């Protein structure tokens, strides 16, 4: 019967159904010398490259054949998986021929039977100690510059001439594949208006990362986020000096460019609705733009 197939190649094949179709087509009518053989296919990162590996094991778990393909190219799924399927079919045919020429004394199960192919998702693969660990969670740190609108109102009208110039530091922590949290600390000095002010804030965003159709670490990513922010606005001077607390929430859209290394550049746009505050001069809406860099620690 054909070998069981275990695939954990999410970085190369986001659609496992495509990998299943490619393997079915390329394995064709190939069978294993006996029941219990297994073909394991998985990917891993090596620097800026993504390597897809195939291991063919016999019924006792012994390695029979091994093959690696560098998948750092535009043809990342069907082509690579099909190539490994063709390789596995050739190896299986050779092993069957060898087994027929030198049959075992007590074969457990003769060749033949229906094809069995199982494409195993991420969580199921973790339970199999024989399969390499799946995609590791990433951790990034970064810093950015900020341009922000004034959170103050003057005589009931937003003082749009005020622009905040500052920056923030942040961290990106992957909780699950493509899902991140982004805690950050920010500060901005409002200049160019009649009312001096300084804004300090801490913010936490939950982000969904949407990759484009690019090679790993060589393309664009879209981060769609929603978050909450707690800030302190110190404004005025002399007798009018005061400090207001501001709580806001709102969406963020970020566009990241990966520079074929651990370094990335990102542009973000943020809208914050100031739903709660202590002062009576706080505008309902504040927007800002950020330009920064991130460095992947793992």
Say yes or no: 149 and 270 in one domain.
yes
User: Looking at the structure, do residues 25 and 144 belong to the same domain, yes or no?
Assistant: no
Helices (DSSP H) in 118-252: which residue ranges? 122-126
Contacts of 183 (CB under 8 A, 6+ apart): 170, 171, 173, 202, 203, 204
153 and 290 belong to one structural domain: yes
Domain final residue pick, 96, 126, 156: 126
Clarify whether residues 21 and 89 are in a common domain.
yes
For the full predicted model, state whether its pTM sits above 0.85.
no
Q: What is the pLDDT along the chain (298 residues), one digit of tens a residue?
A: 777 777 777 777 777 677 767 776 777 778 888 788 888 888 787 767 778 888 888 888 788 888 888 777 655 677 777 788 888 888 888 888 887 887 665 545 445 444 444 444 344 443 443 444 445 678 999 999 988 887 777 644 344 334 556 788 999 999 987 899 999 999 888 776 666 788 899 999 999 988 765 555 557 888 999 999 999 988 887 888 889 999 999 999 999 887 767 888 999 999 999 999 998 888 889 898 999 999 988 7
- Write the Ramachandran bin of 203: left for phi over 0, alpha for psi from -120 to 50, otherwise beta: beta
* Residue 112 belongs to domain spanning: 4-126
Q: How many domains does the chain have?
A: 2
In this structure, is residue 262 part of a structural domain? yes
């Amino acid at each position: 019967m054909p070998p069981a197939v275990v695939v954990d190649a999410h970085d190369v094949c986001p659609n496992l159904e495509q990998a299943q179709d490619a393997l079915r087509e390329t394995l064709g009518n190939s069978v294993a010398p006996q029941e219990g053989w297994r073909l394991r296919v998985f990917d891993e990162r090596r620097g800026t490259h993504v390597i897809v590996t195939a291991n063919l094991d016999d019924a006792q778990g012994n390695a029979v054949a091994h093959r690696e393909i560098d998948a750092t190219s535009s043809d990342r799924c069907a082509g690579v998986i099909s190539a490994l399927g063709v390789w596995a079919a050739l190896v299986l045919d050779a092993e069957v021929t060898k087994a027929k020429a030198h049959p075992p004394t007590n074969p457990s199960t003769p060749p033949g039977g229906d094809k069995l192919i199982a494409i195993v998702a991420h969580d199921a693969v973790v339970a199999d100690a024989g399969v390499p660990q799946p995609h590791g969670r990433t951790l990034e740190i970064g810093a950015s510059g900020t341009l922000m609108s004034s959170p103050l109102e003057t005589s009931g009208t937003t003082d749009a001439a005020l622009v905040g110039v500052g920056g923030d530091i942040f961290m990106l922590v992957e909780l699950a594949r493509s899902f991140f949290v982004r805690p950050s600390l920010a500060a901005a000095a409002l200049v160019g208006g009649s009312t001096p002010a300084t804004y300090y804030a801490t913010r936490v965003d939950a982000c969904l990362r949407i990759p484009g159709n690019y090679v790993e670490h060589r393309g664009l990513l879209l981060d769609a986020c929603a978050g909450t922010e707690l800030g302190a606005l110190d404004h005025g001077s002399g007798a009018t000096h005061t400090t207001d607390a501001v709580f806001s929430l709102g969406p963020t859209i970020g566009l990241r460019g990966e520079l074929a290394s651990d370094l990335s550049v990102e542009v973000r746009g943020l809208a914050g609705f100031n739903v709660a505050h202590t002062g009576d001069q706080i505008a309902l809406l504040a927007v800002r733009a950020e330009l920064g860099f991130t460095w992947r620690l793992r």
